[in-house]
Copies of this chain bind each other. A is one copy, B any other.
Amino acid sequence: MSQRNTGVTVDVRDEVAGSGSDDGLDGCPVREVLERVGGKWSIQIIIATSNGPIRFTELERSIEGISRRMLTLTLRSLERDGLLIRTVYPTVPPKVEYMVTDTARELYASFLTLMDWARRHRSTIAAARKAYDCAARVELANR
């Protein structure tokens, strides 16, 4: 199972296709990645915790738009996968801190590459989109 990869060019076709296997596609890295960072809040939480231990309410405030419910759920999920460590201080009122693990830190680092991609191509994509929509509109008018 834990075979080391060799280079950058991996022919992922086989892994994507999933071959004859039937079950949960556990061996497909694409799915694995998507299941972890695919949600709406996972990476945002990882990012927010990357600056050091942070409390529940602080997280809630720093991640704009997140609901209490999703914060809790996503935190649990991340903790379960060993990406976050939850520390409870039995004081009153209660105090709970979350901090990232090294695994999560690496994930974040990798994700930065993607964010950089987004930043670099933002304008290109916006342009392509406008062109596409424009062409579609023209085409529609000509029918």
Contacts and interface: CB of A to CB of B under 8 A. Distances in A.
A118 B33 contact: yes
Describe A's contact surface by its main secondary structure.
helix
Interface in A44-91: 44, 47-48, 50-53, 62-65, 79-82, 87, 89
Number of copies: 2
A39 to B, nearest CB: 8
B125 A103 contact: yes
Given A9-B51, A97-B2, A125 B87 contact: no
Contacts of A122: 1-2, 32
Contacts of A103: 121, 124-125
Contact of A133 (B29, B80, B107): B80
A139 to B, nearest CB: 13
21 contacts: A1-B87, A2-B122, A5-B119, A9-B50, A11-B51, A17-B63, A18-B65, A29-B115, A30-B43, A30-B44, A30-B115, A33-B115, A33-B118, A34-B43, A36-B118, A37-B114, A79-B132, A80-B128, A80-B133, A82-B124, A111-B114
